[in-house]
């Protein structure tokens, strides 16, 4: 049943990260034809923005070493966006050669994660991103910036809000169109999320430029999403079937499952354009290919039960 709640947007854009954030964390490398079918099914379920892969060092993330092959076989359509992760000039070069029109750079609010994920300090990683964003704009690309560890870090513990705002401002000063707030290890709670969004607003980064990217490690992802929507955010990252994590942050478990997000949004009377039945079928199909059940509660509730 659809029962609206005041103070929420009428429509939310879902930024699907399953093929990238989900599959980057699978032990087994998923074959290109399975990845391609996954993306095609997600699009058929109504998802319009699907982060498909990363142009990172193949030794760092072997699961996505087939980025070129995947982009070559994906079906294209003017209303489908396929952003990809790009950390540096080499990655951008590869993305441009493969017809990419949307990229995401990915920074860290903490030094420890910047070092582990990018082999750089925070300052060095921003220096690495600057020419990437500049060239991407010259080539007419849309650029998102991620900022990881916004609520806590496995090596540094609590991350002060001022520190997140400072790094976020430096990333957005490069000229990125959107900032995705990554609670990479899922430790955030709704008051923290609200305070962070308010602090970013006070620093000039309004909710029209924000997205939220919650991991569900402590079961807080949906509560945090509701807090972000109440604060004015209208773009939410999620991963079909709850696939995912981050290979360079061991305590990062699954992302917010897209099905759980869609269930909540539709229940609140918020439009997403997603056909929940087709999405559940897709995640059920993917779980069978991966050989283990989806952690999504909605996928579990709505999938056919074994005889």
> What are the residues binding ligand HMG (CB under 6 A)?
21, 24, 54-57, 60-61, 85, 87-88, 90-91, 94, 106, 117-119, 146, 148, 182, 184, 213, 246, 248
Beta carbon nearer to Mg ion, 88 or 255 = 255
Question: Tokens at residue 160, please?
Answer: 């002060």
Residue 246 is a catalytic residue: yes
We find the least distance from the C-beta atom of residue 246 to Mg ion, in angstroms, to be: 5
Which lies closer to ligand HMG via its Cβ, residue 247 or residue 293? 247
Q: How far is the CB of 116 from ligand HMG (least distance, A)?
A: 9
Point out which residues pair with 148 in neighbouring strands.
108
Distance CA 292, CA 42 (A): 19
Contact characters 2-41, Mg ion, x per CB under 5 A: -------------------x--------------------
Relative to beta strand 84-85, strand 53-54 is parallel
When the beta carbons of 180 and 303 are compared against Mg ion, the nearer one is: 180
- The CA distance from 164 to 108, in Å, is 9
Does position 183 bind Mg ion by CB under 5 A?
A: no
Considering CB under 5 A, how many residues would be counted as binding Mg ion?
Answer: 1
Distance between CA atoms of residues 249 and 118, nearest Å: 12
State in angstroms the smallest separation of the CB of 252 from ligand HMG.
6
Catalytic residue among 151, 176, 235, 246: 246
257's contact among Mg ion, ligand HMG, none, with CB below 5 to 8 A by partner kind, is none
Identity of the residue, 104 or 298, whose beta carbon is nearer to ligand HMG in the bound complex: 104
Query: Among ligand HMG, Mg ion, none, what does residue 57 contact (CB within 5–8 Å per kind)?
Result: ligand HMG
For residue 80, give the nearest of 100, 110, 98, 61 by alpha carbon: 100
Residues with a catalytic annotation lie at: 246
């Amino acid at each position: 049943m659809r029962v609206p709640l005041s103070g929420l947007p009428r429509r939310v854009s879902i930024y699907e990260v399953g093929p990238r954030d989900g599959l980057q964390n699978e032990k087994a490398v998923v074959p290109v034809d399975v990845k391609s079918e996954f993306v095609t099914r997600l699009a058929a379920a109504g998802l319009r923005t699907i982060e498909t892969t990363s142009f990172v060092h193949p030794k760092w993330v072997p699961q996505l070493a087939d980025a070129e092959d995947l982009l070559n076989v994906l079906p294209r359509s003017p209303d489908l966006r396929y952003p990809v992760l790009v950390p540096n000039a080499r990655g951008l070069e590869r993305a441009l050669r493969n017809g990419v029109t949307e990229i995401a750079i990915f920074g860290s609010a903490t030094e420890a994660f910047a070092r582990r994920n990018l082999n750089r300090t925070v300052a060095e990683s921003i220096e690495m991103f600057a020419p990437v964003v500049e060239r991407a704009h010259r080539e007419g690309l849309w650029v998102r910036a991620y900022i990881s560890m916004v609520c806590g870090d496995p090596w540094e513990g609590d991350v002060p809000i001022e520190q997140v705002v400072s790094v976020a401002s430096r990333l957005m000063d490069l000229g990125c169109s959107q900032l995705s707030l990554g609670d990479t290890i899922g430790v955030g709670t709704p008051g923290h999320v609200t305070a962070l969004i308010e602090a970013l607003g006070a620093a000039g980064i309004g909710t029209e430029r924000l997205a939220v990217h919650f991991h569900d490690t402590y079961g807080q992802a949906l509560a945090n999403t509701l807090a972000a929507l109440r604060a004015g955010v209208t773009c939410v990252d999620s991963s079909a079937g709850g696939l995912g994590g981050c290979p360079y942050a061991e305590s990062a478990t699954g992302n917010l499952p897209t099905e759980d997000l869609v269930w909540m949004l539709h229940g609140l009377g918020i439009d997403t354009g997603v056909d929940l039945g087709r999405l559940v079928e897709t995640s059920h199909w993917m779980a069978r290919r991966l050989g283990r059940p989806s952690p999504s509660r909605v996928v579990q509730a709505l999938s056919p039960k074994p005889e």
